[in-house]
Amino acid sequence: MAEGRLPHLAALRARGTCLPLRSTVPPATFPAWTTCVTGVNPGKHGIFDFTEMIPGHYALRFVNATFRKAPALWTVLSQAGKRVGILGVPGTYPPEPVNGFMVSGFDSPVATRVDASFVWPPSLHPEVRAWRFADFQETEIGEGWHDRALNSLLDGIALKEDIAVRLLAREPWDFFMLVFGESDTVSHHFWLFHDPRSPRHRPGFEDAIRKVYERLDAAVGRLLATAGGEVCVAVVSDHGFGGAGTGVVHLNNWLAAQGHLHFAPERSGGMKRFALRWAPEAWRGALFRRFSGLAARAEGGSRFGGIDWARTRAWSEELNYFPSIRVNLQGREPEGQVPPEHYDAFVRELCAQLETWDAVARARPRGEVCHGPHVGRAPDIILELAEEDGYSLSCLRSRGGPPFSRIRPDEYYGGKERGMTGTHRPMGVLLLSERTHAAQPGLEDIAPTVLAALGVAGPPMDGKSLLAEAADGVAEAPDIVEAPYSPEEEAMIEARLRALGYLE
């Protein structure tokens, strides 16, 4: 904005408010957007990641919208008779029967484009069938990749803008929400070009991030013109961004060095590595769908293979976007080693031990990070990794070796098991067309703000309206029944998240 590149966002700031916006801990996509649309912390809405542990097993299942334990904005508004339009919000598959329409987000079990299964009502599908997510894989970065990726991102913004404008103009919606994920993708992969001080800096594509933001600013301008001048507008990011350095943390190696974890020969992790190395990129989605059972075992082997559970008290899934520790608890895990009566003391001691390691800025029990009836779905310890001169460390998977390492210069572009060049930060941004006196808003404040703007009562929320208070009374929360993915849908979700670099 200071360079004059974002005139529509600058005008919105001049009209109202521009403030830093606090994300969830950690600032991860699924819990952050879910907090944004429910107004409650993950301990109350129950969404912590794309996956969650299956109780009683060393295994995962993929999370979908039916796992959300708090009603979203569109549910409350629909019950109040308001008309809503929802486009591309993460964590919204399967789509809900709202009073309006919904097109689910990138976590839908398809490769890149929509099908009728994640459009409500399904009859709208022909009009939105061109809506797409990133139509390129984000794990193996080679020659020409950045050219193709940047062009695809810019084209994707234009395509989404056209669909959104057409739907927005159809009727005077009470609430209209869409998510552009291109600013996230470009920051993950082009930060090393954008930031000349980055320890991974490489020449070329210096304006890629600016180009994406300029194109998004133009989209905002067109959407605002379509909506009209008397509309309350919010531009919300679910987190911020910053650069990644060259330091790499291997949490399981650290746990092993402290005697909390013991490795065992891997049995099934090699199956996934073989498939990812030798299966052509164009075949992988089809292979995962065709051999869904094998795919599930491959991912389980990758995350949980190579660990001697009978001699392990704690382990990590070593997720770069969600560094955390799980306790191998008796009665909860099949081969639990920590007695329940020792759980609290063990977690406190392990947090203190982790914070003596200069690679960890903070280690907290999950109950200090979030609160509510669903805290038990979270990892036992949630970490904030340290930064080196303002650049984040990466958390990458390893089975043996040192707890800390450095990536090589030939790995600076990131990708599979090399970390992204740009990473999430806890402070995002809020631009609001109205004035507010709030000093430090968080994502949990967005939902009550929307309800206040529309004069609709909502269920109890952790957040507070940034405007006037909402109408008196409390709306009833609907009954929520979990509907897990089928094995085929799980395989498709897995292939999709793997291509985006979330699964390794």
CB 190 within 8 A of CB 172: no
Express each pLDDT in 310-329 by its tens digit. 999 999 999 999 999 999 99
pLDDT at residue 285 greater than cutoff 70: no
> How far is Cα 32 from Cα 323, in angstroms, rounded to an integer?
15
- Residue 270 has what pLDDT? 52
pTM of this structure: 0.89
Express each pLDDT in 386-419 by its tens digit. 999 999 999 999 989 999 999 999 999 987 667 8
Q: Tell me the pLDDT of the chain averaged across its residues.
A: 88
> How far is Cα 187 from Cα 210, in angstroms, rounded to an integer?
10
User: What angle, rounded to 10 degrees, do the helices at 281-290 and 292-304 form?
Assistant: 100
**Region 248-255: what's the mean pLDDT?**
98
pLDDT at residue 296 greater than cutoff 50: no
Tokens of 38: 């429910």
Burial code (b: 16+ CB inside 10 Å, e: under 16) for 438-455 equals beebbbbbbbbbbbbbbe
- Residue 404 has what pLDDT? 98
Helix extents (H) in 178-268 = 182-194, 208-227, 251-257
**Region 465-479: what's the mean pLDDT?**
62
CB 475 within 8 A of CB 79: yes
Express each pLDDT in 18-30 by its tens digit. 999 999 999 999 9
342 contact partners, CB below 8 Å, separation of at least 6: none
> Both ends of the chain: CA-CA distance in Å?
36
CB 288 within 8 A of CB 494: yes
Give the domain ranges of the chain: 245-423
* % residues pLDDT > 70 (the chain): 84
Q: Give the helix/strand (H/E) hosting 100.
A: strand 100-104
